[in-house]
Amino acid sequence: MNEVLIATNNAGKAKDFEALFKPFGIRVLTLKDLEEEIDVEETGTTFEENAILKAETVAKQLDKLVIADDSGLEIDALSGAPGVYSARYAGLEKNDDANIDKALKELQGVAEADRTARFRCVLAVAGPGVETVTFSGSCEGLILEERRGTNGFGYDPIFYLPEKRCSMAELSPEEKGEISHRGAALDKLKEHLPVLLGKGRVE
């Protein structure tokens, strides 16, 4: 095995994986490196289902080791919404500002103590001769009543971190990486990489 494909078009995500696989001499590819476009319809009802669906579908088509992720925001007062619909909460155009506006509107009148939420990320690893496995990470916080900060993307401006006393969008990329849901999932994947690459499966 000398290549792994990350099922994403996001260059930022690709860099995280490049750092992870570099010590093993493994080249990291993304969907942008492929000649043909692969579009997997996310029909799952959970982050796990969508991540596995993407990883297994692409791995089967390319006969390569593939890592896919699905992530989003869960707001307790909204029964876990937007959840798997986080990117398209306000419509299929996937507009961050529209998604934030909808979440804030639905939380109007909800007390601060009841605005608990978390970012969740699930990574799925699939490929020839590999038993599909998943690694998950989460980051707990509260939903603000208005935007704060200009860094990050998605719901970061309204996601408040009590221990940091700031929103996710007020952190530097490095600070965010240390506490983020994706960072936590990546750490778990990193622990299992030697086993995964050496035996073809994770115990």
Domain extents in the chain: 3-199
**3-class secondary-structure state, position 40:** coil
The verdict on whether residue 101 carries a ligand-binding annotation is no
Annotate 126-153 with b (16+ C-beta within 10 A) or e (fewer).
bbeebebbbbbbebebbbbeebbbeebe
May I ask the CATH class of domain 3-199?
alpha beta
Please state the pTM of the whole predicted model. Answer: 0.86
Residue 11 assigned ligand-binding role: yes
| pLDDT 10s digits, 164-179 | 999 999 999 889 888 9
Q: What is the pLDDT of residues 83-132, one digit of tens each?
A: 999 999 999 888 999 999 999 999 999 999 999 999 999 999 999 888 99
Predicted confidence band of residue 34 (pLDDT cuts 50, 70, 90): confident
Q: Is 8 annotated as a binding residue?
A: yes
**CA distance linking residue 26 with residue 112, whole number of Å:** 46
Mean predicted confidence (pLDDT) in 168-196: 89
Instruction: Establish whether 9 is an annotated binding residue.
Output: yes
DSSP code, position 108: T
Please report the pLDDT score of residue 1 as a whole number. Answer: 61
161: β partners: 166
**pLDDT attached to residue 199:** 46
- Residue 70: active-site member: yes
pLDDT at 161 (0 to 100): 97
How far is it, in rounded angstroms, from Cα 121 to Cα 18?
A: 18
- pLDDT of the residue at 117: 98
Active-site position among 70, 96, 97, 101: 70
| More confident site: 2 or 179 | 179
